[in-house]
Structure 1
Amino acid sequence: MSQQHLDPRAARRSGGPDGTPVPSALVANPFRADRDRVASSPFFARLAGVTQVVSSPGSGLLHNRLTHSLKVAQAARAIAERLAGAAELAGVLDKLGGCDPDVVEAASLAHDLGHPPFGHLGEQVLDRLARHRFGLPDGFEGNAQSFRIVTTTDVRGPDAAGLDLTVAVRAAMLKYPWTRLSYPRPHPRAMPVPPRGAGEPEDAAGTGSAKFSAYVSELTDLIQARAPFEGRVDSWQQTVEASVMDTADDIAYAIHDLEDFHRVGVLQHAPVSAELTSWERTATELAALSDADLAAQARRPGRSLEMLRRRLHAKDSWAVDDDAFAAAVRAVRAELVDGLLAVPFDGSVETEQAVAGFSARWTVRLVDAVRVVDDPSPRSGHVVLATQQWHEVQVLKFVHRRFVLLRPDLALHQRGQARLLSKLVDALEQWLSDRAEADRLPRRLHDLVELATAEYQALARDDPAALVGATGETPLGPDAVRNLARGRAVVDFVASLTDTQAAAMLDALSGRTSQLWTDTFVL
């Protein structure tokens, strides 16, 4: 029996790591079996219909959540193989709990399973509705929803409760290994320097961490997944494998969204060039401006980039270096502005090769720059980019945010999507409240209500504080628990739809379509 099968990290909820092949698995390696389970999940297949940034069904020009996940898995596996193959890192990796390429690949494929329709916009809408309309202290969070899918709501595992993944893969999915409010104690949001994502949103004090990877309903699974790493990494710290996945996610996001918007003509040469070259030319003068003066001039070229430099100093002083920042601006200008954007994309062989070359060069450059540190900052994982490449990723992500995400036409598009999701949640909630229609609910929604009811009844009995928020103290009665469960079920149901399914379902519920039977969703 191989040592891998004896690894406690290979334990599943359904049994210990006794080396027995996973039922119906094509491989004996438990981590490869996990990878196959994720890839076979309908939740994984649906990612082909879920927005990355802008919805573009069937165009092939823009990444969706499926192609994004595949690229993250590709980069993550390459990083893990480099680290695992470095003899000088063997001791530190073993001390920290290991770095298996199969674990990293499986977690990377699974990391976005919980993203709802319309990407991050959908995540924000569902979080607001979950907290304010349904009173769910956990709200909604894409990472926590991914963890809920693989542990609870997917039914492809042997017990029809999640996928029954190994603890190593589940731990590798935990980019933010805490709940929103209550676990672990003390909660990382109270640390002098909170880990990335653990702090509360500036405009929502008292609501808990901005990012988290598990709801209270999956707390037992979080604790089990982290158990083999106790004493190896801090309770709030990512495992090495989670850190690899997180770094690969950053790399993929920084590169391929820029490709997308160059392809469709949104990312224009002139404004990006003006921003970067103006900052390079006047960096000294801009650094001398007060924050108020800089904000007053925000629309002028170079000012937004200077704001980024100051934000990095405020949030990531452990990593920021002004010389490295200036070098990163030069590198991005040379490769992106003077290279990729200099020739508009027209679908020709020349421009296709330019996009492919840009992506390949930057991916190799960033993957090769990954390092392992024994004692990282709370704002970082054990796996980090070298200083220069870390700054380059910040500048690449800045270009994407400044020249794509902040566009008014994208905001117009997204406001419509937000209204669509809100109306869909309204319609489903009303359907659930109609006793005369209880027998005709979509079967999936009915099953989710039963599941959430059992979960919330158990929480009300065993950990009632988890259901009443950060400060509430009143025990919840049966009606309140039932309402919470119904709210979670509606959120789970809507989050499992594709962009097209969400729109088609609202059309049906609103009487705007005469089509009786449709293949866009299964009732």
Structure 2
Amino acid sequence: MHDPLLDPRELRRSEAEGEKPPAVDLAASPFRADRDRVASSPFFSRLGGVTQVISPSGSGLLVHNRLTHSIKVAQVARAVAERLVADPAHAELITQLGGCDPDVVEAAALAHDLGHPPFGHLGEQVLDRVARHRFGLPDGFEGNAQSFRIVTTTDVRGPSAVGLDLTVAVRAAMLKYPWTRLSHPREHPRLMPVPPRGAAEPGDAKGSGSAKFSVYVTELDDMAQSRMPFSGRIDAWQQTVEASVMDNADDIAYAIHDVEDFHRVGVLQHATVSAELSTWLNQAPELAALTPAELAAEIRKPGRSLEKLRRRLHLKDAWIYDDEAFMLAVARVRHELVDGLLAVPFDGSAEAEQNVAEFSARWTGRLVDGLTVLADPPARSAHVALAPQQWHEVQVLKFVHHRFVLERPDLALHQRGQARLLTTLVEALDQWLTDRHEAARLPRRLHDLVELADAEYTALSHHVPDALVGATGEQPTGRDAIRALARGRAIVDFVCSLTDTQAVAMLDALSGRTGQLWTDAFVL
């Protein structure tokens, strides 16, 4: 049997607790075994039915879902890791920082979106709101934290039936934001003079804790164990090298394949994108001279939204932002996107498919080539980071996606309906859980999740009571309060195990809108 003392990065929780789980893995390498465990998980298969931005069934064409996105992130992440470890210029520094194994990076990339709920980022916002305001959960909901909870706790495919029992290195590589929402680590990064990316509180929700985080308070032990081998090598709030490779790969894949998707479905219109980018390039000095009030008043005119982005980057990311690099980035995106990809409408032909493939390959190669390893990165960066010029280009690509897709009223129409659906589904499940006459007929999975969360919150109330203190400063006390927290966390866990279609079908059944008794849309 593998001896974890030889390499603390290979330690599994079961081994640390003195267990000797049966050898169920096909791969001899513990990191490769982790990759196989993630890929074999039903939570991973489920991602094929979870929206990335728009539903494939609604678009009429093949667009990315969370599964295809995760596979592409894994491809990019592994390629980056292999390049970095093969480069003699980076080898010594990577070793000092804790290592970078391609299998670790690939496993973390495959697992990074396991916790995304039905309907993608919209579902994340809805579940966070109901988790905090309806159930009083101090850390609400966050997709990254839910992914970590799945692999450490709620998945039952590992040898000990508690999570996937992954190695320390892979768990640490999943921690894009290695902190909880409010309480851990003790010197919480949101309180730093310059908070790390994601650690600051949302501007419209002061006191609510970090906007992004990768760990719920129920997984504090796993976070501590995962970070232990990196103590003294990297700061407590900093990503491991493997986590920053995965994070950059996620950014690269997201920036490129969303542009592909919306070109395919005809959402990215040549004229509007061209007008925005070209106007800003032609009028940059005049736009820079506008007062904030004038800019806000003219925001619907071409070029103004891009100027707003430029100012926000200058304010938040002064450590890397540069006016000349930003202008060059806008010019490159206009050339590649407006004069290239969007110049010919997508018609499904072999030529159109080839144009998309060439655009994707060219940009992926350029961004991957721009990654390097930093010994002492600023707080808003990581040890693996894009070169300044490529960083600016990613910001502009993301802007195109946000401005011309996410802000569309027709998308908002569907998303408001999805938000209402998820909210109603949570309420219906909560009513079922609190109905003493029907509690015995709960779905067994939901019942198990309630019991799991109840044991977790009871233990926390005894041993780490401050972890249950929410943004209001109040600490839940008494059996009913703990049970209410457990009920909320269990419902969130349950909903996050559903696909988009399953969520719709379950609400139809709970609301009496379907007469079909047995359905393959979900399994109770």
The residue identity in structure 1 corresponding to 2:98 is G
> Structure 1 residue 6: deviation in Å?
2.3
Q: CA 1:502–1:73 in structure 2 vs 1: closer, same or farther (change >3 Å)?
A: same
Q: Distance in 2 between matches of 1:463 and 1:243?
A: 30
Segment of structure 1 superposing worse, 288-297 or 156-165: 288-297
- State the partner residue of 2:331: 330
Partners of 2:287 and 2:304 within 8 A in 1: yes
Q: Which runs of 4+ in 1 moved over 3 A?
A: 1-5, 57-60
| Paired position in structure 2 for 1:251 | 252
Report deviation, 1:462. Answer: 1.1
What is the aligned partner in structure 2 of residue 147 from structure 1? 148
Q: CA–CA distance in 2 between the matches of 1:194 and 1:151?
A: 27
Show the 5 A alignment for 1:92-241: 92-241=93-242
Offset at residue 475 of structure 1 (A): 5.1
Contact 1:316 1:379 survives alignment (8 Å): yes
Matched, 1:452 2:453: yes
Q: Aligned residue for 1:46? A: 46
2:499 alignment partner in structure 1: 498
Q: CA deviation at 1:66?
A: 0.3
User: What's the % identity of the aligned pairs?
Assistant: 76
The 8 Å contact of residues 448 and 489 in structure 1, kept in 2 or not, is answered as: yes
Change (3 A) 1:4 1:357: farther
Please tell me whether the aligned partners of residues 177 and 213 of structure 1 are also in contact (alpha carbons under 8 angstroms). yes
Deviations 1:402-448 (A, max 9, x none): 00000011100100000000010011001101111112111110110
Letter in 2 for 1:341: L
TM-score (norm 1): 0.98
Cα RMSD, aligned residues only = 1.6
Summarize the Cα distance change of 1:5–1:272 in structure 2 as closer, same or farther, 3 Å threshold: farther
CA deviation profile, 1:365-414 (whole Å, cap 9, x unmatched) = 11111011101010011111111111100000000000000001110010
What runs of 5+ residues in structure 2 fail to find an aligned partner? none
Give the secondary structure class of the aligned counterpart of 2:337. helix
Amino acid at match of 1:441: L
CA distance in 2, matches of 1:455, 1:60: 43
Task: State how far apart, in whole Å, the 2-side matches of 1:185 and 1:487 are.
Answer: 26
Shift of 1:16: 5.1
Output the CA distance in 2 between the equivalents of 1:450 and 1:160.
15
Q: Distance in 1 between matches of 2:22 and 2:361?
A: 36
Q: In 2, are the aligned partners of 1:465 and 1:472 still within 8 Å (CA)? A: no
Residue by residue, what CA displacement relative to the aligned partner does 1:40-60 show, whole Å, maximum 9, x if unpaired? 000000000001001223955
- Aligned 1:19-30 pairs, distance under 5 A: 23-30=23-30
1:468 CA drift (Å): 2.7
- C-alpha distance in 2 between matches for 1:496 and 1:53: 18
> 1:156: Cα distance to partner?
0.4
Secondary structure at the counterpart of residue 209 of structure 2: coil
The one-letter amino acid paired with 1:369 is: G
- The letter for the 1-side match of 2:250 is D
CA distance in 1, matches of 2:270, 2:5: 53
SS in 1 for 2:385: strand
Instruction: Tell me if the contact between 1:189 and 1:200 (Cα under 8 Å) persists in the aligned partners.
Output: yes
SS at match of 2:36: helix
Q: Distance in 1 between matches of 2:423 and 2:2?
A: 52
Q: Cα 1:21–1:127, aligned 2, differ >3 Å: closer, same or farther?
A: closer
Distance 2:475 2:52 in 1: 40
> Which ranges in structure 1 are unaligned for 5 or more consecutive residues?
none
Partner of 1:483: 484
AA aligned to 1:226 is R
- State how 1:397-408 maps to structure 2 within 5 Å: 397-408=398-409
Which residue is equivalent to 1:427?
428
Give the aligned partner of residue 15 of structure 1.
15
The equivalent of 2:34 in structure 1 is 34
